[in-house]
Amino acid sequence: MKQLRNNIKTFLLIFLSLFVLFTGGVILQSQRARTTLFASSGENRAALAQRYSQAGSIYSSDGVTLASSDEDGKRSYSSDPQLAEAALHVVGDYTHNITYTVESLWQNELLGEGRSLSEQFLLDIQGKGFQGNDLKLSLRSDLMKTAYELLGGRKGAAVVINYKTGAVLASVSSPSVHPDQVVAWKDIPDTSLFNRAFLGEYLPGSTFKIITASALLQSNLSTKEIVTCLGSTPIIPGGVNETHANAGHGNVSLVEAMAQSCNHYFGYIGLELGDQRISRAAEQMAFNEKIEFDRFSLSKSQCLIGREDDAALTWAAIGQAAGEDIITVSPLHLAMISGMIANSGRMTETYLMESIIYPSGNESIFDNRGDLVAQIDPGLAQNLKDLMRQVVNSGTGTNAQVSGLDVCGKTGTAEAYNKEGELVISSLFTGFSNNQDYPFAVAVVLDDSTYGSSVIAGQLLAAAAYD
């Protein structure tokens, strides 16, 4: 009898302890919900600082801390100021002064919200209930720094992706500023919070000749046709001419025209093809489509042409839309186009989030990677690749050569008038390393330079492969 009573006592004690723990967990949970509610009701800095005081860390793929909250609840960014500036537009700031960043889009995970009750209960009884989750990104800290250094404060963007996996290895926008200044909201240079790599809407200039070439290769027109380049004389009144090769390129077929970036050739081909076939080739490469990944979205690259006359069509064919015609591209999408050509015609969805690490130490890798965004015929991709190889081997892109790498690419110069009516010339390069072990694609845009992007692109590919 006494034994039975003891057993009941033990049982009750266990039950009571569990009950207390569980109630404790529920109280902690509701406390947490209330804090969150309180914080989100007034998005002021103090509330945000409070909210992020136990937020998880953000790491690069090589394990370098890009954001973390210390024991006193202070949130800080990379201890290397250059890396902090390079990563600003992707990592963001806890005050959410920059809108689309990991800090803002992945806030729930960083704060540890949305866990299942049982999961939360287990963390609560370990005293880790309030700790957020860590996030590991696909970015390589060394490449981020190199890209930022190479931009050297000039306005522009540089992107490196792994075209096989879709991992974004570097995405840098310049000018930038230290995240602490963004949090304090002081000394912020003009346009430095704008993520040019994701949201920039650039005129593609001659990088668009990849698309016109693709339209030609898919048409019944001959790629052997020879066009005589007239140099500075326009091809038709108001149509394209050569600004940089006054004497002209002579008699050229597709291969030489691509290598030398001959405007006359592509203007002529544009007239032969018509706007529909060029638009279709652009849409095969995800123009006029919203590209989204890991809660981020790119500004939509547009190809809306054929709204003007023949002269405008010759300009559209060389990526220099005029009048009512619109052609724009974001730097990340431009890198994805190169990646698609390198990857046998498969444009793989890019990603930034590598894994989530719970306070328990469990790491969960994000899956469902490698979805196709767009696809072209492998044979067509091979033909485009061969054309782009000539550009780097012996054409306008020789500055992108890297010893030991089979670099293929396309240069571009785009001229546009800004809001003030001034002519702004930007320099673009997109390309890739055609090597199994180094499946890297790159895009570099300099907003206000006539040249320089191909040099940076080559150095980035070299750094991606050999550093």
Rounded Cα distance, 333 and 81, in Å: 28
Q: How many CB atoms sit inside 10 A of residue 372's CB?
A: 12
Is residue 318 within 8 Å of residue 260, measured between CB atoms?
Answer: no
Span from 24-32, 113-121, 248-256, 335-343 in contact with Zn ion (CB under 5 A): 248-256
CB of 233 to Zn ion, least distance (A): 11
> Segment contacting Zn ion (CB under 5 A): 258-266, 307-315, 348-356, 415-423?
258-266
Task: Identify the burial level of 436 via C-beta atoms within 10 angstroms of its C-beta, where 0-12 means exposed, 13-18 middle and 19 or more buried.
Answer: exposed
Size of the site for Zn ion (CB under 5 A): 5
Nearest to 169 by CA among 463, 450, 391, 392: 463
Burial code (b: 16+ CB inside 10 Å, e: under 16) for 174-205 equals bbbbbbebbbeeeeeeeebbbbbbbbbebbbb
List the structure tokens of 179.
């995240």
Task: Please give the Cα distance from 363 to 134 (Å, whole number).
Answer: 9
Cα–Cα dist 128/137, whole Å? 23
CB proximity list for 66: less than 8 A, separation 6 or greater:
57, 58, 59, 60, 77, 78, 83, 84, 87, 91, 137, 139, 141
Q: How far is the CB of 390 from Zn ion (least distance, A)?
A: 15
Under the binding rule (CB under 5 A), the answer on residue 281 touching Zn ion is no
Q: Kindly tell me which of 85 and 256 has the beta carbon lying closer to Zn ion.
A: 256
264 binds Zn ion (CB under 5 A): yes
Complex with Zn ion: residue 78 or 241, whichever CB lies closer: 241
**How is the chain split among helix, strand and coil, in percent rounded to 5?**
40, 20, 40
Question: Whose Cβ is closer to Zn ion: residue 173's or residue 206's?
Answer: 206
Binding segment toward Zn ion, per CB under 5 A, in 23-31, 236-244, 315-323, 331-339: 236-244
Q: How far is the CB of 273 from Zn ion (least distance, A)?
A: 18
The two three-digit tokens of residue 67, written as one number: 């954001």
Counting DSSP H helices and E strands in the chain, the numbers are 17, 19
Minimum Å gap between C-beta 229 and Zn ion is: 3
Of the pair 10, 232, the CB lying nearest Zn ion is at: 232
Q: How far is the CB of 208 from Zn ion (least distance, A)?
A: 16
Q: How far is the CB of 200 from Zn ion (least distance, A)?
A: 28
The backbone torsions φ and ψ at residue 65, rounded to the nearest 5 degrees and listed phi first, read -75, 125
The residue range among 260-268, 298-306, 308-316, 409-417 that interacts with Zn ion, by the rule CB under 5 A, is: 260-268
Please, what is the minimum distance in Å from the beta carbon of residue 239 to Zn ion? 13
Contact track, Zn ion, 212-231, x by CB under 5 A: -----------------x--
| Complex with Zn ion: residue 229 or 457, whichever CB lies closer | 229
Nearer to Zn ion, 196 or 264 (CB): 264
Q: Which of 136, 145, 196, 249 binds Zn ion (CB under 5 A)?
A: 249
Residue among 79 and 232 whose Cβ is closer to Zn ion: 232
Report yes or no: 266 and 229 within 8 Å, Cβ to Cβ.
no
- Amino acid identity at 85: E
CB of 419 to Zn ion, least distance (A): 32
What CA–CA distance (Å, rounded) separates 138 from 60?
6
Give whichever of 155 and 264 is closer to Zn ion, judged by the CB atom: 264
Q: How far is the CB of 241 from Zn ion (least distance, A)?
A: 9
Gap between the Cα atoms of 293 and 106, Å rounded: 13
When the beta carbons of 273 and 405 are compared against Zn ion, the nearer one is 273
Using CB under 5 A, which of the segments 123-131, 244-252, 327-335, 415-423 binds Zn ion?
244-252
According to the binding rule CB under 5 A, does residue 262 interact with Zn ion? yes
Contact residues toward Zn ion (CB under 5 A) are: 229, 242, 249, 262, 264
